[in-house]
């Protein structure tokens, strides 16, 4: 059952979520483009990109939670902020060891962040609907995390390109969510007129 807040509050929050999802899609797409181009040519740029992804996730979840009632009302996002920030620090340490370590840390983060995103999407589904893509994204992220952890143990050293597909799928899910909320809002608006 979908429980909607008053119309004006719902409209404001849907507008926020659409914009938020579009920004997340754009960031992920830009990250993929950078990872597959300059990230392949420079280890320092690759390291910066590897740090930027979970750091951005921490900031994005923090801002989103604040705009949706605060961290206390969005516990999965509050946890995601902590996990993503801790991952950024862990990647700094892993970069000093090996790319396999970095991929292992990234995998653990993708698994945890995916489960937390899944929890956020299920909670939001009750209010806004149109969260099926975020549910799929969270589940896919958790599965990809397990895959990265397994690949981190392989003898072949991975590269940032190994993670670009994960970010590309994330960009796709964020874009689909934004477009779905847009279509749902337009449908609801035309039904009222």
> Using one digit for the tens of pLDDT, what is the confidence trace for 78-115?
999 999 999 999 999 999 999 999 999 999 999 999 99
In a domain, 71, yes or no: yes
Contact yes or no for 175/19 (Cβ under 8 A)? no
Distance from the first to the final alpha carbon of the chain: 24
> Using one digit for the tens of pLDDT, what is the confidence trace for 113-122?
999 999 999 9
In a domain, 27, yes or no: yes
| Confidence (pLDDT) at 188 | 66
| Confidence (pLDDT) at 15 | 87
In a domain, 2, yes or no: no
In a domain, 173, yes or no: yes
In a domain, 1, yes or no: no
In a domain, 74, yes or no: yes
Domains of the chain: total: 1
Q: Which residue, 62, 66, 65, is CA-closest to 54?
A: 62
| Confidence (pLDDT) at 9 | 60
Angle at 60 between CA 59 and CA 61, to 5 degrees: 95
Residue-number span of the structural domain to which 134 is assigned: 7-188
pLDDT along the chain (193 residues), means of 10: 53 86 96 96 94 97 93 94 97 95 96 95 80 90 95 89 93 93 74 66
In a domain, 12, yes or no: yes
């Amino acid at each position: 059952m979908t429980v909607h807040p008053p119309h004006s509050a719902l409209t404001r929050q849907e507008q926020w979520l659409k914009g938020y999802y579009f920004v997340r899609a754009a960031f992920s797409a830009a990250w993929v483009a950078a990872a597959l181009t300059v990230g392949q040519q420079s280890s320092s740029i690759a390291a910066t990109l590897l740090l930027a992804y979970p750091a951005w996730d921490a900031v994005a979840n923090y801002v989103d939670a604040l705009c949706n009632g605060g961290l206390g009302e969005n516990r999965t996002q509050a946890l995601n902020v902590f996990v993503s920030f801790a991952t950024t620090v862990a990647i700094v340490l892993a970069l000093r060891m090996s790319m396999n370590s970095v991929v292992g840390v990234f995998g653990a983060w993708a698994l945890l962040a995916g489960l937390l995103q899944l929890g956020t999407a299920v909670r939001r589904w009750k209010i806004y609907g149109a969260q099926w893509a975020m549910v799929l994204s969270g589940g896919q992220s958790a599965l990809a995390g397990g895959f990265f952890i397994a690949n981190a143990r392989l003898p072949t050293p991975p590269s940032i390109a190994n993670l670009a597909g994960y970010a590309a799928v994330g960009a796709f899910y964020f874009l689909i969510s934004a477009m779905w909320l847009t279509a749902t809002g337009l449908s609801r608006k035309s039904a009222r007129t």
